[in-house]
Structure 1
Amino acid sequence: MLYVRRANERGSVNLGWLESNHSFSFGQYYDPKYMGVSVLRVINDDWVKPGAGFDTHGHRDMEIITYMLEGALKHKDSMGNEFTVCAGEVQRMSAGSGITHSEFNASDSEPVHLLQIWIQPKARGIAPGYQQARIRQSGALTPLVTPDGVDGSVTMHQDASLSRLVLGAGESIQLSSRGGPAYLHLISGELQAGGLNLTDGDAVAIAADTALTLTADSQTQALWFELPATH
């Protein structure tokens, strides 16, 4: 195991309209011990107040993934896309050679809860792109974002994959990192992971070619990242 990332040790920001916890260094939060894992650079756990959001801003050369947990988010970008991303859906925006976009809470009364994830692409300057999908859980581990769109997953420009893990109380699974490191981010529930107790927002990073046995103490949802060895 590379390290354990406890939820209460993450960087945090409260801007009034936005409350966010940063698993890795981001914006004004900097910790040289937590700069990301392989090509995984950002996991921000965001709560956005009703009617508020991110004004139009730009990105380049990043695969930006949004996984919606609660509420709905209005998305608008310079490619002409205007969509609402709802709870349970996953969105991937390839910033590539350059894109601008805005994101706002679609509700005037309910907050939005989301995970924003940034992954470095294999190549710089690619054409910007967009995908959005609601992917039904199939078994304990279901691909959400992959290089080749396996099993109906959203695609990304990187040799990495993001899957959703769902376990019921008492269920177990063994996950293995193949060729590169892996990262498990617990969204909700309680897990035993390699002798460690994990709760909401906790995470573990493991080295390449390592097995991790997980047992759920309650209904659990997590994200599992398989990452390349070099970048």
Structure 2
Amino acid sequence: MSSPTPTVGVHRAGDRLRTTIDWLDSRHSFAFGHHYDPGNTHHGLLLVNNDDIVRPGQGFDTHPHRDMEIVTWVLRGSLVHQDSMGNAGVIHPGLAQRMSAGTGILHSEKNDSWRHGIGDVHDEPVRFVQMWVVPDDAGATPGYEQLEIENDLAASGFVTLASGMPAHRDHSAIRINNSHASLHVARLAPGRVVHVPTAPYVHVFVTQGDAELEGVGPLHEGDAVRLTASGGQRLSSATAAEVLVWEMHARLGG
């Protein structure tokens, strides 16, 4: 595989594709569902980067997936996961979750809000980012993993949230079945600086707050930067921000 040409692509929050129905407001960084855009299908190994808001008591009913590594990161509220392998859990901010669809899996995702009566209310939208990457090999056994990393986020810069790369396997919160990809997250306190990983393909996504990327300038919530053959740039925030960064050493199709 030839080395990619160095490029920097900035994709603003307001330019994302959008799906809105009565219970869902979903912003898509890449072509998704009925939103077909042949020029915007993926970056590196990342196929989906959906920023979803789901109303209380609503969500995605049971539906299938196959041969996909799906990582979910909740920004506010909480999300209930149930699947056909018997896995069930509540995902909240600071908890990393991965589902490997493999040979096939059914699952549902619902807002974990309820209203029982006066004074007994947990009623708020849930907002989460869901990201899909292809596995190294098709036909693997489906799997599920989640782990709390809140304390790690408070103590350091980038935390490896999910990875299949040998260099990160001993340190990542959860494993994905792709040996060329890692997902990192950082909560940037004012004045804190992290450096973007150096890789053939890097995807930087601002989940919350405002940040600044060296050579690019200000980034706001929902903005993304797609880097090829690059890395090492300073990433900081004058106020506070959270960023998700995919480090990828291969691309879709080889």
Shift >4 Å, 4+ stretches = none
The answer on 1:144 being equivalent to 2:161 is yes
TM-superposed CA distance for 1:172, in Å, is 2.4
Correspondent of 1:104 among 110, 116, 139: 110
Q: Which runs of 5+ in 2 are unaligned?
A: 1-6, 115-122
Aligned partner of 2:231 in structure 1 is: 210
TM-superposed CA distance for 1:31, in Å, is 2.2
**What secondary structure does 1:80 align onto?**
coil
Q: Distance in 2 between matches of 1:64 and 1:175?
A: 22
**Conserved 8 A contact 2:8-2:228:** yes
Q: Distance in 2 between matches of 1:207 and 1:64?
A: 23
Q: Which has the larger radius of gyration?
A: 2
Correspondent of 1:166 among 168, 182, 187: 187
Aligned partner of 1:113 in structure 2 is: 127
**Conserved 8 A contact 1:94-1:156:** yes
**What secondary structure does 2:39 align onto?**
coil
**Conserved 8 A contact 1:165-1:223:** yes
TM-superposition CA deviations, 1:83-121 (whole Å, max 9, x none)? 111222111000000000111111022111100111111
Aligned partner of 2:4 in structure 1 is: none
TM-score scaled by structure 2? 0.86
Aligned partner of 1:225 in structure 2 is: 246
TM-superposed CA distance for 1:48, in Å, is 0.5
Aligned partner of 1:35 in structure 2 is: 41
Aligned partner of 2:118 in structure 1 is: none
Alignment of 1:38-117 (within 5 A): 38-108=44-114, 109-117=123-131
- Equivalences, count: 230
The answer on 1:189 being equivalent to 2:209 is yes
TM-superposed CA distance for 1:212, in Å, is 1.9
Q: Which amino acid aligns with 1:41?
A: L
User: CA RMSD for the aligned pairs?
Assistant: 1.4
**What secondary structure does 1:211 align onto?**
coil
Correspondent of 2:147 among 130, 133, 141: 133
Q: Which runs of 5+ in 1 are unaligned?
A: none
TM-superposed CA distance for 1:139, in Å, is 1.3
Q: Distance in 2 between matches of 1:150 and 1:221?
A: 24
TM-score scaled by structure 1? 0.94
% identical equivalent positions: 38
Q: Distance in 2 between matches of 1:65 and 1:152?
A: 13
**Conserved 8 A contact 1:64-1:94:** yes
**What secondary structure does 1:8 align onto?**
helix
TM-superposed CA distance for 1:152, in Å, is 4.7
Q: Which amino acid aligns with 2:93?
A: A
**Conserved 8 A contact 1:208-1:229:** no
TM-superposition CA deviations, 1:127-186 (whole Å, max 9, x none)? 0000011113141101100115332510000120001122222332322323x2101000
TM-superposition CA deviations, 1:33-86 (whole Å, max 9, x none)? 321111100010000001101111100000011101111111111101121112
